Amino acid sequence: MHSTVLTTIAATGFTVAFFHAAIPTHWLPFVLVSRVRGWSRGKTLLVALFAGLGHVLVTSLLGLAIAWLGFELDEHLGHSFSWIIGGALMLVGCFYLWRQFRGKGVCHHHVPETTHKPSEHCGHEGEHDPSHWEEELTQSALATKRKSDWTVISGLFVMLTLSPCEAFLPVYLSGVQFGWRGFLILSAILAAGALAGMLLFTFLTLVGLERVNLKRVERWEAGLLGILFCTLGALFIVIESGHAHAH
């Protein structure tokens, strides 16, 4: 039973990480900056991988804090902790569904601006299209040719690193019952899903498949996360109920 639950959590985690990485904030900046600076595909993908590793590292460190806190609570609360996890996951799911219903989506930060303050993008189709991104990045210090490559690469790295995958953090909470083994597996799943998504969509755009419409994915990301977390939370409660009846 435990292996089935861990497999379900891992599959959920990969889905969350991959589709979160499909959002343009995770790959479009690399494509647009590479065009301005004349980077090759290989160099652009390496830069995206480098920035993605920082993104994964910071998210994993936050997950480490959540895992450690969960281990402490699990030790004191025993079997009731599974009910708490299930309820917490369902609350997180309801929050994302509420955001989807309100049309707010999942917020993502824009790149640093040179002319005005950084803004926040809340995944609403039609508000910010790729042409807006192109204009924004063209005006950004990241796209200027006056900066060295390392300065620009560092800016892209910081931009993505300081925007961790907050949607994956509840997945770490769901893996607490599996101890450090669960934490390591989920960290590997996070890295695989996030980096695969970033590199895939960066590559597809570089080779010319620019009309792949991912705005719909961005628009419905909050709803997808809400369904996943509600389902995962319900699974925890059902399993714990089964264990209670068995005893």
* Token digits of residue 160: 């993505």
Decide if pLDDT at 102 tops 90. Answer: no
Using one digit for the tens of pLDDT, what is the confidence trace for 2-59? 677 788 889 989 999 998 888 888 888 898 888 888 899 999 999 999 999 999 999 9
Decide if pLDDT at 131 tops 60. Answer: no
Using one digit for the tens of pLDDT, what is the confidence trace for 161-191? 988 888 898 899 888 888 888 999 999 999 9
Sheet strands (E) in 34-123 = 108-109, 120-121
Q: What is the pTM of this model?
A: 0.75
103 close to 116: Cβ distance less than 8 angstroms: no
CA atoms within 13 A on the CB side of 76: 6
Write down the pLDDT at residue 129: 47
Helix (H, G, I), strand (E, B) or coil at 92: helix
d(CA 240, CA 238): 6
Using one digit for the tens of pLDDT, what is the confidence trace for 137-159? 555 555 556 678 888 899 899 98
What are the residue boundaries of the structural domains of the chain, listed by start? 2-246
